[in-house]
Each structure stands twice: as C-alpha cells, then as structure tokens.
Chains A and B, each alone.
Chain A
Amino acid sequence: MTTEETTGQQPPRVGFFTDTSVCIGCKACEVACKEWNLVPEDGLTLTGMSYDNTAALGASTWRHVAFVEQTKPLGGQQAHQPHADLDVLALAARGSATPVDEAAITPTTPGPPTADGRTELRWLMASDVCKHCTEAACLDVCPTGALFRTEFGSVVVQQDVCNGCGYCVPACPFGVIEQREGDGRAFKCTLCYDRLGAGQEPACAKSCPTESIQFGPLDELRERAERRVAQLREGGVPDARLYGADPDDGVGGGGAFFLLLDEPEVYGLPPDPRVTTRDLPTMWRHAALAALTLLGGIAAAHRVFGRKR
C-alpha cells in the first residue's frame, strides 16, 4: 500500500542528499543495498584504485563509494606534524584525562602554520547512486515503458516489462543503468521503492553511520544542503559545492544530489550532464529533412538520368 492510497494525497517528492564531507568510506550503504535488494555479486577483483574495489555503478552495484587520494589540503588540515618531542606512551597512560592541548593527535587542535612546499594529503570519499533525474533520459528513451516514474518522484525499472533492448544504458548521462550479464535486462537503484511504500527510508540511508546519506523530501534536503555548504565554506573549505541540486541544470535537477569537495569529474561524475531528449525535436526535424532529401534526390535522379533509350 502506498502513502498515496492511505492519505489520498500525492506524497512529496523524496530523494537523497549525499553529503560527501562526512563520508568515512565504510561502504555500509553498498552492503545494505545489496542485502535489501538481493543484488547478486558482481566480481571480487582488486582494482588498485585506493580502497575502491567496487569500481563503478552498474547493473549489480546501486551504491558505489568512490575513494580519491589527492595532494591537496582539506580545509587547512595539518599533515606531517612533528611529534618527536611528545611522549605518547605517557600521554596514553593518562588516558582521557589528557588535556586537549597536550594530546599528540586530536583533530581539533590547530597546529603551527605549514611551511611552504610541504605536501598535504586528503582523502575524498563519496557514495554515488542513481540521480533519479527530474528529466530522466533513461525513462524518456525506454521503448517498452518498463522505466517509469513512481508516485515518490523516483525512476524505477519494471523488471517484468524490460526486454533488454539496452537503449537506456547509453542514454543515461551519468553511466548509471546497465544490463545485467546473463540476465539481459536493465537494473539500477529503485530508491528502495518497496521500503518507501511501507513508510521506511531506503536501506543505504538507514545504514549510513555518519548520515552522509540523508533521505527526505527533496525541498527540505535542498535547504539543508544550502546551509551545509555555507557552513563548510565559512569553515575554510572553499571548494565545497552542491552537485545536482539545481532544478535548472541539464537534467532538471536530481532527485539525488551531492555535496562535493572538488570538481565532479574528480569523482567520476560528468561536469555538465544534459538530458539528450531536449534536443530530440531538432533531431527529428533533421531526420525528416534527410528523409525528404532522400526522396527528392531519387526523384531528381529519375528525371535527369531516366530518359528512355
């Protein structure tokens, strides 16, 4: 039973705000998604890409945690602090009684200014997911109507209808949806359609220990995200930005959007995705023109070269 049926109203459009600044890369979301949705195993390979052995979203990966290692400072974070003069064992013996100022490593202690030329390292982690686009290319191009928009505003494949034509796969500007090998049909995140219907939040958001993945009505999430980005900038993280939150972007905004700490492409996301359906009228016009030219050319050739001998 859906919320709509119980209240007689259209439920608000819901989605994800993934705040990557608090992601710790635990992959609980990946696991919870696989468990809840019974998504099959899709390879146990080592990629050599930091801690990311999942590699990418796909037919059998509906949440993917990206790991990026960069030699960039993270909001004034101090790396390589000299600790030679600290007796860590003595500090440890004092346990939690150690005053913050004397502790060897506390994330809240400001260190001395960094000497020029010192390398700093930061580790970016981000849990990617289907964006549930407002203007979803996958849905637009699906010839069978297998892809549809739910009452919650999410985009879902009806597995009993999909005939595996594979058209949605290259249509998605984010490379999300994919055909499952050996099955042939297309699969992707459903925003836990079954859980939403039962008044539960999606499994990934439920499992996220830092609330990096936040679920809720889209309007509310967008406001919260604006506040969060302002807070981070204030705190000295100038590269913090929202991705997919703007309803005027190339896909009409995502039902799932992100707070990123670097350019989208660093995380494997397209910097300016566009739903290609917007150009479809132009394309049809050119196809019609081309078809008419073809007919005209054949007719002309028969006039000019078609004299009987």
Chain B
Amino acid sequence: MSEARVTRDGLAGVHPGREARFGNGLDDGRRPRERRMVPGAEFTSYYGRPVLKVPSWAARDIAGYMFLGGLAGAGSALAAAAQLTGRPATARALKLSSLGAISLSTAALVNDLGRPARFLNMLRVAKPTSPMSVGSWLLAGYGPAAGLAAASAATGLLPRVGTAATLAAAGLGPAVATYTGVLLADTAVPSWHEAHRELPHPFAASAATAAAGMALLAGPRRENGPARGVAALAAGAEALALRSLLTSAGHAAEPYRTGRPGRLLTTAKRLAFLGTAGATLLAGRNRAAAAVSGATLLAASAATRFAVFHAGIASARDPKYTVLPQRLRLRAEGGAPPATA
C-alpha cells in the first residue's frame, strides 16, 4: 500500500519502488524495434465504445430551442425592417411571434436542465469562454426587449418605448439566432466542432428562412414583397452554407449524409425548395399560397436544426469520428505521434 503523505514540504513516505521490469530479463534478444504503426484509414477503439460522452440533451428541447431562438431573433430584425418601411401589420405579427417563440424556447431550455429550479444560476457569472453564458445574457437582454416591442405593438401604448424596444430586439436578435452555432461548435462533438467556422452561417440562414416563413404566414399579402425576397435569399444562402459545412467537416460530415440526420437534411432541402418556389411564384398573388409557403419554410428551418443536432449526436456515439480525424491530423503534422507526448 502507498504510505505517501502530503506535507508542507511536499510528499513524504513515497516508495522507492515502482520499477517492475518486464522487458529486462525477458528480452529474447530482439532489441527495441521500430514502433508499430496503424496502417491506412483504419482506426482502433476500446471495444467500439464512444470516446466522448453523448450529451443528454433532448432533441425536442435543444434543437427546438435553436429553431425557436432563430425564428424569434431573425423575426425581430424582420419586424423592425417592416416597421421602418411602412408595413405595420407584418411588423406587429412578427413582434408577437418573436415573443411567443423566445418564451417557448426559454421554456424548452429550462425544461432541459437537470435542475430547472436553478435556472437563474446561469446569470451568476458572465463568462465569455462559455457560449451558454453569453447566450443566457443575450436572452436576458433580448427577451425583455422582444416582450416590450410586442406589448407596445399589441396595445398601442408607449409607441416610443415600443420603437426603441423594436430596434434593440432587432440588434440583438441576429446574435440570438447565430450564437447557437457557436454553442454547438464549442464542444468536442466531431460533426459540430470540425465545422466550427461554418456552423453559424447555416444557422443564420435557417433563422432567416423561418422568419420569412412566419412573415408570409402571418402578414397580409400586400405587405409580403420583402419577406418573399428574404425567403429566396435565405434558402439559397442556407443551401450554400450547408454545402461548405459538409466540405469542411471531412470525415465528420458522414453523419450529415446518413441515417436520421441525412433524411432530415434531405427533407429540409426539399421543403426549402418548395417553400421558396411557392413564396416567389404564388405568394404575391394568393393569401392561402403565401400561408402554405410560409408554413413550409418554417418546417424547413426546423428540419435543418434537428438534422444538425442529430448529426452531432450520431458522431459522438461512434468512436470512428473522434479517433480518425485526430489520427489523420497527427499524421499530417509529422508522422507518428511523438513517443513521449
């Protein structure tokens, strides 16, 4: 047994031993060989078990949180633009939907905590190294602004405060929509982290898709010109951003193409295509077509977020996506790993 003690002058009573020799004396004359190398693209694992811990986040809560946060944030920006360009009905509808979405998304976040009663501990510190801390403070600023903007729009009271809140929400909203990309990327989960530069971009585009969809769904037809434009822009940007995400994720892009996330992403692309087609071709003429296109775009945005969420979970479950990129990186940086590092 170890008798070591921690004393003021350091460690005392340490055994001199620990020098068991199983190389010496057992050596059959073969002197130290070259280190064995792992060949090709093979990888080793411990009984196929994941290296990482899979987050216990529920898809409905966390992917839902990201979708709703995007809808709210981009919606606030769209609402301000609508208000400033004389589209009051759309502005009002978007302010209400943003308040609803951010309330729901906060509820989802709290619901996902292991200790929901301790939610306010999120505001105990402000840590720029923690995207979740940054996000909590963003929400703490954005939520009340969105609330005031919506309350003023709904009641007609305090128009000046309402306008100020609308602008504040429009300024913070895009950050609320994109920080969730950083939230996911700042983890060891391969399909999220390997594309850490790209992830915020599809999130921004997907948020704009959702907000445009909401404007088409809830705003009057005569005001929906810009929303149709945003829908087309956002859907195009999202397709491009997703493509660059898949390119840069390397091996960790595979989960985006297979299984449930693969199916979700395909669905998202199809819905976005249909929604955009409807928005650009029909929504200017027909109110019902505008509403259907809007709902389709909302569904497309949600599907994208769920696809990204599930791809990350799948990549964390399989040791291949953790070990292989790291092995390749080591090999690229100078052959075998340094023997003493």
Residue positions of A touching B, CB distance < 8 A: 3, 6-7, 12, 14, 19, 21-22, 47, 49, 55-56, 58, 66, 68, 72, 74-78, 107-108, 110-111, 113-114, 137, 140-146, 161-167, 169-179, 183-186, 196, 199-201, 205-211, 214-217, 220, 226, 228-229, 231-239, 241-243, 245-246, 248-249, 263, 265-274, 276-277, 279-280, 282-284, 286-295, 297-302, 304-309
Contacts and interface: CB of A to CB of B under 8 A. Distances in A.
Contact of B22 (A174, A235, A287): A235
Given A164-B118, A305-B229, A291 B204 contact: yes
B252 interface: no
Interface size for chain B: under 10, 10 to 19, 20 to 34, or 35 or more residues? 35 or more
Interface of B: 1-2, 4-8, 10-11, 14-15, 17-36, 38, 43-47, 49-57, 74, 77-78, 81-82, 84-86, 112-116, 118-119, 121-122, 124-125, 127, 129-133, 135-136, 170, 174-175, 177-179, 181-183, 185-189, 193, 196-201, 203-205, 207-208, 222, 225-230, 233-234, 237, 312, 316, 319, 322-323, 326-327, 329-330, 337-341
A173 B52 contact: yes
B322 to A, nearest CB: 6
Given A283-B196, A301-B226, A114 B28 contact: yes
Given A265-B46, A301-B233, 19 more contacts: A161-B118, A162-B115, A170-B55, A179-B56, A201-B2, A210-B18, A217-B10, A231-B21, A241-B341, A268-B45, A280-B186, A284-B182, A286-B199, A289-B200, A290-B174, A290-B181, A291-B204, A298-B230, A305-B226
Contact of B18 (A107, A137, A228): A228
A223 B239 CA distance: 53
A76 B26 contact: yes
Contact of A236 (B31, B84, B339): B31
A216 B6 CA distance: 8
A121 to B, nearest CB: 14
A277 B26 contact: no
Contacts of A146: 121
A239 B203 CA distance: 45
Contacts, number: 388
B56 A169 contact: yes
A220 B12 CA distance: 13
The 7 closest A-B CB pairs, nearest first, are A164-B114, A184-B114, A235-B23, A268-B46, A305-B229, A163-B118, A75-B23
Contact of A245 (B28, B81, B175, B340): B340
B14 A141 contact: no
A214 B18 contact: yes
19 contacts: A78-B26, A108-B25, A110-B28, A145-B127, A163-B114, A170-B52, A172-B188, A178-B53, A229-B340, A263-B44, A265-B43, A279-B196, A294-B177, A294-B208, A298-B208, A298-B226, A302-B85, A304-B229, A305-B228
A162 B33 CA distance: 50
Contact of A306 (B85, B127, B199): B85
A247 B32 CA distance: 27
Contacts of A14: 6
Given A113-B29, A179-B114, A290-B178, A173 B46 contact: no
A226 B341 CA distance: 10
A12 B177 contact: no
